[in-house]
Structure 1
């Protein structure tokens, strides 16, 4: 087997919870809730279930950084923008994982709209994988998702990632994973929600995720979450001031140790 083919396998072993780092949770808000975020709306939905950006009412920008298990080369970075349009909402994101030896990039262009109680959204992704001295592989993929607000307290969400079942090399088994997500969110109060989600890689066992968020004094957030297959626990803090939102997340893997994530986003012309 070529060395290039070994890279995704090594990443599977090290990450445990994702088929490839290109699908790793991005925002500290989502990570703090164990990535149980298929029903979550707002700015960071542009990296998760794009349908959720329909709740944004201004031009927003954000950036995030994470390191897994304090390991060199396990760095995740992303920046993006979302904007309300006369005919819907749009987003543009750039994601990077890795170092000079091995790295992955994803550039995503998304669009979402709202029809009654249903929000739908999708994005097109350009994917690039680079291995030092061995070259570059690239591909395209398409993601699609939706969120339905059944009542003000109850929402369901679903998402399919890589519905095109794109591959890095049609002649080999270097495929971009295809994931299916289904989740439910219960929000008994405006300041509290609890989410449950199932994530299925079509080639792997189902991952179950639980997450909760509590907003107190209007400006502060506490979050926590759990994942089944990897037995990870997640914790998060958030703080909102004027048009700025800062978030921090900490996760603990029983075997690999701690991971940290920080995020910030800003609303321009917020109403």
Structure 2
């Protein structure tokens, strides 16, 4: 969907933004500190030369960590939006040092008819290599999805995601707006992990707060929280 977080999910989605936005994100999976991620993102739109974004994130702990900084651009052409992104990744393992790699990604998005969106994204199309041993590379992921808003308060979503080395993952979600679109209720499901998620979104003028809770039968619970702010023109 077209919003700040499209900078990470499908960079083409930032092409339709008309106001500058910044956001912070944190997640913890399964109650383990080593499986925590923190991220910062910002998007700045221009009237003639597309919209630009920068993202940073860190995952892991002292034993293993991944850091990245990325720059993306999205541009709207009629009902279509196109985008590209460059991410510099650093992977650090205690006792083995660190390696860097650059991943290139491209995406597209279109509002086919009012309220009906299609998007596709290919991450790490250059299959960036981290190490010669075992031909270790950053993951290459391709995904495509649909979003449909039958009326203003309801949003339905479906997506297929394919890591080139693993089976495809089908995901579906639903969102319903309450309280004059200030509060959103959300739920989703992922087939590859049999994972259900539930969430809330709250909007107070230019401030957005989103929280999601996920669970799996084997590994436990995960928590996701984001804060974003939209600057007025």
Confirm whether residue 81 of structure 1 aligns to residue 42 of structure 2. yes
| Equivalent-residue separation in structure 2 for 1:198 and 1:178 (angstroms) | 14
**How many residues are paired up?**
231
| Equivalent-residue separation in structure 2 for 1:243 and 1:184 (angstroms) | 27
Scaled by the length of structure 1, what TM-score is found? 0.83
Q: List structure 1 runs of 4+ shifted beyond 6 angstroms.
A: none
| Equivalent-residue separation in structure 2 for 1:267 and 1:155 (angstroms) | 23
Aligned residue among 215, 228, 231 for 1:265: 228
Aligned to 1:122: 84
> Does structure 1 retain, via aligned residues, the 8 Å contact 2:16–2:81?
no
Which structure's relative contact order is higher, taking Cα pairs within 8 Å and 6+ residues apart?
1
Q: CA deviation at 1:185?
A: 1.1
> Does structure 2 retain, via aligned residues, the 8 Å contact 1:62–1:263?
yes
Where structure 2 has 5 or more consecutive residues not aligned to the other structure, the ranges are: none
| Equivalent-residue separation in structure 2 for 1:182 and 1:85 (angstroms) | 27
Aligned to 1:50: 11
Higher helix proportion (structure 1 or 2)? 1
DSSP-derived class of the 1:96 partner: strand
> Does structure 2 retain, via aligned residues, the 8 Å contact 1:42–1:54?
no
Q: CA deviation at 1:72?
A: 2.3
Scaled by the length of structure 2, what TM-score is found? 0.96
In the TM superposition, what are the counterparts of 1:96-175 in structure 2 within 5 Å?
A: 96-170=58-132, 172-175=134-137
| Equivalent-residue separation in structure 2 for 1:255 and 1:172 (angstroms) | 29
| Equivalent-residue separation in structure 1 for 2:135 and 2:111 (angstroms) | 39
Where structure 1 has 5 or more consecutive residues not aligned to the other structure, the ranges are: 1-39
Aligned to 2:52: 90
CA RMSD of aligned residues (A): 1.1
| Equivalent-residue separation in structure 2 for 1:144 and 1:214 (angstroms) | 30
